[in-house]
Amino acid sequence: MTVKYKQPRPIFNEKQLKFEKYFGHGMAFSNEDDYSLEMEDDLSQNEMAAEPWVNIEARLINPNLPEILGKEQARLWSLVLDARGVPCCLENRHQGRWQLLVPREELARAEWELAAYEEKNRSWPPLQPPPRPMVENTLATLSILILLATFHNLVRLDMVLPGGIRPDWLAAGSARAELILAGDWWRIVTALTLHRDVAHLLGNLGIGGMFVFLLCRELGSGLSWSLILTAGALGNLINALLQPGSHDSVGASTAVFGTVGILAALSSVRYRHTLRKRWGLPVAAALALLVLLGTEGKNTDLGAHFFGFISGSIIGLITEMVIARRGHPSALLNALLAICAGLVVAVSWLTALALA
C-alpha cells in the first residue's frame, strides 16, 4: 500500500542518502512534494505513524568507533540488521553525520545483534604480516645459473682430466635407481647438474630460473641454494626408492619443482591467518603448475618432479616456521650456507669421478 502524509517534510532526504534507508519490513524514501511510505508487508499505516524511532549509539556497540557514525559503517550495520530481520533506517543529519534508527521496542535486540557482529568480526580482516625486505642478489644467482650452463658445455666436450681420465659424465653421475640404493649416494646430487641436451638445459634454466630468483630474493642466495639442493637430492632419493632398479634420470627439474614447493609452503604458512580456510591456495596453484609444466614430454620423469615438489614443500614449511621464530639468517650465515652447498656438489662429483 502507499500512504501519503500531508505534513512538514521529514528528516529523510533522498538527495543526501541516495539509497534505500528502510530495511527489513519496508522501504522509506522522500520526494520533493510530500512524504511517501511504501509498505512491503503487513505493517499497518497507524503502526508506522505512531511508532517511535531511536538512534543507536555507536560507542555502546563498539567503544573503538568514533562518536559520529560514518557512512560506510552505518550502511554496514544497516545491512547486518536487515539480514537479522530488524527494521531500521539511515539518516544523514548533516555533512556525514549519520544515524541508524530502529523502533524503540527493537533497540535492545538491534544493539545485541550489532554487538555480536562486531565481536565476531573483531579481528577481520586479519592484519597482513609485515613485508620482509628483499635481498638484492641478482648477480650471485645469475652467476650460478651461468655456471650450470657452462658445466653442461664442459660435459659435452670430450675432455681428458688430469691422470688421463676420460670420464663418461652421464654414466658416472646419473640418478640410476639400483646404483643409488647400492650406495652411490652422490648420484642424487650429481644428477641435478646433468642434462641430456641443450633444450633440456634451457628449459630448466628459463623456467626454473624465475622461481630461483624469487626464492633467492626472499631468503638470500646461500639459504635458498642450500634448500634447493636439499629438495632436489631428496626428490631423487625418494624417486630411486620407489622406481624400478633400471630407472635412470638426469636434470635439474627435480630441484626446480622443489623450488616451487618451497615457495608455495612459504606463502601458505606466512599468510595462513589472512587466507584462513583458503590457506592451501598457494600449494594448489603450485600443484597446477606442476601439472602444466611437469608432465609434458616423452622422457619426462614425473616421479622426480612430484617428489621434488613434495620435498620442497616440507622443507619450505619447516624453513618458514624457523624464520618466523628466529628471523632471517645473517649475511655471514648465508655465505656459509652457500659455501656448504658448493662443497656438497664438488665432493659429490669428486667421489663420482674417483669411483668411475
> In whole angstroms, what is the distance from residue 86 CA to residue 93 CA?
22
pLDDT for 163 beyond 60: yes
- Residue where a domain terminates, one of 54, 88, 120: 120
Whether 95 and 237 map to the same domain: the answer is: no
Assigned C-alpha cell, 92: 544523514
Whether 146 and 201 map to the same domain: the answer is: yes
More confident residue, 24 or 252: 252
Whether 32 and 167 map to the same domain: the answer is: no
pLDDT in the model for residue 125 = 60
Report which of 320, 225, 311, 309 is spatially closest to residue 279, judged by C-alpha positions: 320
Whether 150 and 250 map to the same domain: the answer is: yes
Q: Is residue 125 part of a domain?
A: no
Q: Is residue 338 part of a domain?
A: yes
pLDDT in the model for residue 337 = 92
pLDDT for 121 beyond 50: yes
- Residue where a domain terminates, one of 63, 89, 120: 120
Q: Which residue has the cell 658445466?
A: 151
Whether 347 and 210 map to the same domain: the answer is: yes
Q: Is residue 322 part of a domain?
A: yes
pLDDT in the model for residue 118 = 84
Put residue 126 in one of left, alpha, beta given phi > 0 → left and psi -120 to 50 → alpha: beta
> In whole angstroms, what is the distance from residue 217 CA to residue 133 CA?
9
Whether 180 and 323 map to the same domain: the answer is: yes
Radius of gyration of the chain (CA): 33
Q: Is residue 293 part of a domain?
A: yes
For residue 222, the domain's CATH number is 1.20.1540.10
Whether 228 and 296 map to the same domain: the answer is: yes
Assigned C-alpha cell, 25: 519490513
Q: Is residue 319 part of a domain?
A: yes
Provide the domain count of the chain: 2
Whether 47 and 162 map to the same domain: the answer is: no
Q: Is residue 133 part of a domain?
A: no
3-class DSSP string for 75-119: HHHHHHHHHCCCCEEEEECCCCCEEEEEEHHHHHHHHHHHHHHHH
List, in sequence order, the alpha helices (H) in the chain.
14-17, 45-50, 58-61, 71-83, 107-120, 138-156, 169-173, 177-181, 187-190, 198-219, 221-242, 253-270, 272-275, 281-294, 302-326, 331-354
| Phi, psi for 88 (deg, rounded to 5) | -160, 165
Whether 69 and 186 map to the same domain: the answer is: no
Structural contact between residues 96 and 69, judged by C-beta atoms closer than 8 angstroms: no
pLDDT in the model for residue 181 = 94
> In whole angstroms, what is the distance from residue 235 CA to residue 290 CA?
14
| Phi, psi for 27 (deg, rounded to 5) | -145, 120
Whether 172 and 202 map to the same domain: the answer is: yes
Q: Is residue 237 part of a domain?
A: yes
Residue 327 domain boundaries = 138-354
| pLDDT confidence tier of residue 279, bands split at 50, 70 and 90 | low
Query: How much of the chain, in percent, has pLDDT values that exceed 70?
Result: 72
Asked whether the whole model's pTM tops 0.75, one would answer no
Whether 198 and 289 map to the same domain: the answer is: yes
Mean pLDDT of the chain: 77
> In whole angstroms, what is the distance from residue 88 CA to residue 186 CA?
74
pLDDT for 240 beyond 70: yes
| pLDDT confidence tier of residue 209, bands split at 50, 70 and 90 | confident
> In whole angstroms, what is the distance from residue 268 CA to residue 280 CA?
6
Whether 76 and 221 map to the same domain: the answer is: no
Q: Is residue 226 part of a domain?
A: yes
